[in-house]
Amino acid sequence: MTAGNLPGLRLHVPEPRFRPGDAVDYSTLVIPPAGAQPRPDEVCAASETHPLCLDLVRVLGDDDRAHGPWNPALDVATLLRMLRLMALTRAFDARMVRAQRQGKTSFYMKSTGEEATSVATAMALAEDDMVFPSYRQQGVFLTRGYPLVDMINQILSNRADKLKGRQLPIMYSARECAIFSISGNLATQYPQAVGWAMASAIRGDTRIATAFIGEGSSAEGDFHSALTFAAVYNAPVVFHVVNNQWAISSFSGFAGAERTTFAARAIGYGIAGLRIDGNDPLAVYAAVRWAADRARANAGPTLIEHFTYRAEGHSTSDDPGQYRSAAERAEWPLGDPVDRLMRHLMALGEWDAERQAAMDAAVDGEVRAAMRAAEANGVLGHGLHHPFRTLFEDVFETLPWHLAEQNAQALHERQVKWPDWSDDADLGDAP
């Protein structure tokens, strides 16, 4: 197999630095001081941002103060709103996992530790900018005011679920909040966001599009198609890569992180790129506002890497203790986004532990009340909550003959299985 004296080739297979039981050491992770990164003008040449693709934009320092040119200088009311939305997202996640454990639904995915990436992003965008999320941006829905009860109805797949029990929990759709229907097929939303942005430009609109993806999914071809189209048409789109270090059990090295950063993909495509501290809500806000202003000024797309950490399992089906060290979360050098913003407000003298505890209780109460209201509409189970005809609706705009026949078949089978099921039941009531 070998020719002459040439050495045999070797395959490199990435391996994360820490596995279960290992002590962790993040001293090799380069974390520049907050405030040290330059902020170019929004309409600069893309290449001016490229050094920032290998840097880390940070605003909140170890002293809990905001530093440097990226400081968005938000007023206290806005900071408090941000804190509350992140706390609400966290409380919501905790309660939904509990519901799944109680057998009220099949599945859930938390965003713990990543709340800033979605909440601060949504706050920095205009309300009607179109968002193409992955499945871990519940913070965007909450920030845009999508009702908690509607989210929970979807999670419980109950008879009030606006998606008619068709989708896996958390795969929401919220057109009225300018949020696109979530797909389970990774990365598909990326080129779709570019298409929406191109359409907005074709029509001379002022709204931009934004898309989220996990670092693991950035390996999909759709990611690269999206960046190519965005670069070619200078599309008004902001791309987010949420680098939370893990894609189920695969660390970021399996998406290329051993070689360069995810933000650095922007360099190859010749678009603007920023690598930011994703656990710093002020840095997230400032970067997204910068990129949104750039897109709105017809200065082109931006790729933002949010450097963060997935603090919990991938989903309720996952046990991260099988493949990563539990110490990673505790030692994560960029801390926790909720905690950091809370301490910032305390350092400003605008907040204290008592008010924080009251707020935590208030958001939990809000979620609990919504849970009660949603549960009144039923929980997932074999009660088959939705009218059977909804199974056949929306496959097409109108019902073709074969689906009409299959609808009749389904109703007939229900009659055989549950003879007492009244016809009214098909309008929404389970037996």
Ligand X SMILES: Cc1ncc(C[n+]2csc(CCOP(=O)(O)OP(=O)(O)O)c2C)c(N)n1
* Alpha helical stretches, state H, 69-129: 76-101, 115-124
Among 79, 142, 208, 384, interactor with other proteins by CB under 8 A = 384
- Indicate the pairing of strand 246-247 with strand 250-251: antiparallel
Nearest CA-CA partner of 300 in 272, 274, 275 = 272
E-assigned strand segments in 196-301: 209-214, 237-243, 246-247, 250-251, 272-277
Task: Pick what 203 binds: other proteins, ligand X, none; C-beta below 5 to 8 Å, kind-dependent.
Answer: none
Distance of closest approach, residue 184 Cβ to other proteins, in angstroms:
3
Nearer to other proteins, 62 or 413 (CB): 413
Nearer to ligand X, 35 or 253 (CB): 253
Nearer to ligand X, 34 or 288 (CB): 288
Distance of closest approach, residue 263 Cβ to other proteins, in angstroms:
18
99 near other proteins (CB under 8 A): no
Nearer to other proteins, 137 or 157 (CB): 157
Nearer to ligand X, 216 or 301 (CB): 216
Task: Pick what 386 binds: other proteins, ligand X, none; C-beta below 5 to 8 Å, kind-dependent.
Answer: other proteins
What gap in Å lies between CA 220 and CA 85, rounded to an integer?
A: 31
- Distances in Å between the Cα of 351 and the Cα atoms of 93, 202, 344 are 24, 47, 9
DSSP assignment string, 360-407: HHHHHHHHHHHHHHHHTT--SSTT--S-GGGGTTTSSSS--HHHHHHH
Among 55, 150, 222, 328, interactor with other proteins by CB under 8 A = 222
155 Rama sector, left if φ>0, alpha if ψ -120 to 50, beta otherwise: alpha
228 near other proteins (CB under 8 A): no
Residue 356 sits at φ, ψ, to 5 deg, of -65, -45
Among 124, 198, 208, 255, interactor with other proteins by CB under 8 A = 255
- CA 75, distance to chain mean position in Å, is 25
386 near other proteins (CB under 8 A): yes
Task: Pick what 136 binds: ligand X, other proteins, none; C-beta below 5 to 8 Å, kind-dependent.
Answer: ligand X
Nearest CA-CA partner of 281 in 50, 129, 57 = 57
**Which run of H or of E encompasses 130?**
strand 130-132
Nearer to ligand X, 310 or 386 (CB): 310
Residue 139 sits at φ, ψ, to 5 deg, of -60, -30
Distance of closest approach, residue 114 Cβ to ligand X, in angstroms:
8
Interface with other proteins in residues 298-327 (CB under 8 A): 317, 322-323
Which DSSP state fits 236? S
363 near other proteins (CB under 8 A): no
225 near other proteins (CB under 8 A): no
Please, how many CA atoms are within 13 Å of residue 181, restricted to the half-sphere of its CB? 7
Distance of closest approach, residue 64 Cβ to other proteins, in angstroms:
37
Task: Pick what 190 binds: other proteins, ligand X, none; C-beta below 5 to 8 Å, kind-dependent.
Answer: none
- Distances in Å between the Cα of 286 and the Cα atoms of 125, 291, 372 are 11, 9, 37
Distance of closest approach, residue 430 Cβ to other proteins, in angstroms:
10
Which DSSP state fits 32? P
Task: Pick what 267 binds: other proteins, ligand X, none; C-beta below 5 to 8 Å, kind-dependent.
Answer: none
What gap in Å lies between CA 70 and CA 72, rounded to an integer?
A: 6
Binding pattern for the stretch 19-48 against other proteins, x by CB under 8 A and - elsewhere? x-----------------------------
**Residues of this chain that bind ligand X (CB under 6 A):** 136, 184-186, 214-217, 242, 244, 246-248, 310, 314
Q: Are 219 and 249 in contact (CB under 8 A)?
A: no
Residue nearest to ligand X (CB): 214
239 near other proteins (CB under 8 A): no
Which residues share a beta bridge with 247? 250
**Type of residue found at 181:** S
186 near other proteins (CB under 8 A): yes
Q: Are 278 and 284 in contact (CB under 8 A)?
A: yes
Nearer to other proteins, 180 or 351 (CB): 180
Residues at the contact surface with other proteins, assessed by CB under 8 A: 11, 13-15, 19, 106-107, 157-158, 161, 165-169, 171, 183-187, 216-217, 219-222, 247-250, 254-256, 317, 322-323, 380, 382, 384-386, 388, 390-392, 395, 402-403, 406, 409-410, 413-414, 416-417
